[in-house]
Structure 1
Amino acid sequence: MKIYFFLVFLTTQNLLSQSLVPLRINTVEGKRIHFPVSKTAASYAMSSWYQVNHQITEIVHFYWDGDRAHGKVSPSYKKRFNFYSHNKTMVLLNVLKTDSGSYKLIDRIRKGILAHVILTVFTAPDAPRISSNSTRENSIIALTCASSTEIESTSWLVTRNDVHDVRLTLIDDNKTLIINGAQLTDSGTYTCFVHNPLGSASSFFQLTVDCECVKLITFSKYHCLQFTPIGFNVRFRK
């Protein structure tokens, strides 16, 4: 009977770790965040909450002393976290932007994951930075929109003389706009918008596609001479 119980316990532990879906919590600075734990996970006597980012740091560990559950917060977190030993939950006080990351409740005996929270702390978005890898005609131009703050979504507004949507694609969660086989008509204003729960911000990029040709300046215009195997083509550009 004891062997059967032990096998069931191990099976439950493995299923709990493998099927656990992280709970995502979005918040802003200054709030209090409660890290919930299921009744099954709370029943494990020896467990610890860890912050898992570039390194793994223990926040609080729980243990049994006689017939009561106890907990102890690591010194560096003592003024920032409250905890409840009976259900293995904890509360983060006065959230900071640097608190963003992954938090896991780990069974210290079998190293299984009992609870997993991914915390994202938002601040009002700053104006994004837009960069371009090229401005040459017939090249693949990538306009990348980068933000220094946490964002939920990115969108673009394209203002130009001629829009060929078939050659425009978005990658990396819409952060990068690709122009395949760039043409002179792709020159124009490209505006990137970033959004999060605290608002939106935007920046624009004035793209000028350079033609693959020799420029002959004549009065107020110049001619684009593009050489071909049988001669050259002349195109006019303002």
Structure 2
Amino acid sequence: MSSSFMEAVAGDSMESAAQRVSVHIENMIDSADVFNKLTQNGSSPFSGLGDRFYTKGRLEFVLKRRIPLPDELTYQIRNMRSQFSMGLFTEITRAWVVIDSDIFMWNYETNEDLAYFDALESVVLKIALVRVKADVFAVSPLPFRFLFLFSTVALDNSSLNDISSTNDGRIFFTADDKLYEFVYEHNAGWFGGGRKCRIVNKSVTLLSTLIPFLGPGNGELHPLYTSGLV
């Protein structure tokens, strides 16, 4: 075998190997995650860890307005026993405060229109703003902006975690790693009208979900406070 033939075979093998390596590298780049793609040039894919990323002497937060709590809450806060929480419902321009078993809500734009509810025996752990069904709470011939509602349903000593609602008025909450739905409706049966509510465990079998409907546990749902015309 001549040397020229061996050199030609070796050259073809090296070219073929180079093409295979090139294809393999391209496949690795295409299948690499974002982090590896961003670090191909040896630079870091994130910023903000050093002082050079920030303008010296500039405040990160600027106080634009200070809103005091209503004077009526001073006494209740001083006599707090175990629970205090507060927050904002910006959709309805309302601030809320929970002190033990009492709920307070007012307009934080005007610092007026304080409403409260103090008829609960248990400590309030969670409060949420949810959408409600429009055909259930026809309490006034005039349109209303929001309702402050009260109802009690048994949770069998479960600890409620989160509350959420859908655009069509369904209300859900989680308690002890289970999903529940708070079902409420206008009762127009033979035994009189009114608003009834119950809870349905959505994390169990179909047969188990029928239990709340067969046994006692329905509660009355009472509108306590309305405010603001649409």
TM superposition score category, shorter chain reference: under 0.3
Higher relative contact order (CA 8 A, sep 6+): 1
**Greater fraction of residues in helix:** 2
Q: Decide which structure has the larger Cα Rg and report it.
A: 2
TM-score, normalised by the number of residues in structure 2: 0.18
